[in-house]
Amino acid sequence: MKGIDATEFERLERQAGELGIELSGRWLWVRGLTQTLSLCQGDNVLANYSVSTAEKGFGCREGSHQTPIGWHRIGEKIGAGETLGRVFKGRQAQAEIADISHGTQSTGRDCITSRILWLEGQEEGLNRGGDVDSHDRYIYIHGTHEEGRIGQAASIGCVRMKNAEVTELFERVDVGAPVFIQAD
C-alpha cells in the first residue's frame, strides 16, 4: 500500500492535533465520495475497503438518517468470535444468521451483522453532545447482509462493510482508535 499524500496527511494531523488526537497509531479514514474506508498507521495506508455510507448523505442531526462527519473514536467493539453473518439487535447477538444479498437493490431490511465498531464523536457540537451525538445515534461501522450494495450510499447512517472485511478490520484496530469521516 502507498502512503497518504503528504499535504493531505498534514491537514488531517493538524485537525486531529487540535482535538488532542494523535495519528501515530492505527486509525480509520472514511471517504464518502469514493465510498472507501482506509486502515492507516501514521501516514501509511495498511488496507482499503469498500463501504456503504448513508443513502441520505452526510449530516450529524438525530433522526437525519445521515452519516456523521468529523473526528470520532472507536468507543466499543462488539461481536468478537461471532459467526460471519450473525445478526445483532440492540447490540446483542441473535440466533439468526443473515442470508447475504449480492444484489444492488434494497432488501427492505437493515441488518447489523458480524461485528460492530461503535463510534463516539470527538467534536463537541458537530458529532458530540446534544442532538448531534454519534454515540447516542448508535452510529457504527458494521457488517451488512446487503453486500451487493457495498460501494454505493445505501445505509441509514452507519458505515456498512462486507462481513469478512469488517471481521478482519475488527481484529486490526483497538478501542480508542481515531476515525475520520469526510463527505468528499
Neighbours of 162 (CB within 10 A): 23
Q: What is the mean pLDDT of the chain?
A: 97
Q: What is the mean pLDDT of residues 97-119?
A: 95
What is the rounded (10 degree) CA torsion for 32, 38, 44, 46? Answer: -160
pLDDT at 120 over 70: yes
pLDDT at 71 over 90: yes
pLDDT at 2 over 80: no
Q: What are phi and psi of 98, to 5 degrees?
A: -70, 145
Q: What is the mean pLDDT of residues 164-181?
A: 99
Cα distance between residue 142 and residue 171, in whole Å = 13
Contacts of 172 (CB under 8 A, 6+ apart): 26, 39, 46, 47
Q: What is the mean pLDDT of residues 37-53?
A: 98
Q: How far is CA 139 from CA 50, 75, 134, in A?
A: 18, 11, 6
> What pLDDT sits at residue 52?
99
Under the banding of pLDDT at 50, 70 and 90, the label for residue 53 is: very high
Q: What is the mean pLDDT of residues 34-63?
A: 98
> What pLDDT sits at residue 169?
99
Domains and CATH numbers, the chain: 6-182 (2.40.440.10)
Under the banding of pLDDT at 50, 70 and 90, the label for residue 3 is: confident
> What pLDDT sits at residue 1?
63
pLDDT digits (tens, 9 = 90+) for 125-149: 999 999 999 999 999 999 999 999 9
96-115 burial: b if 16+ Cβ within 10 Å, else e: eebebbeeeeeeeeebbbbb
- List 24's β-bridge partners, or say none: none
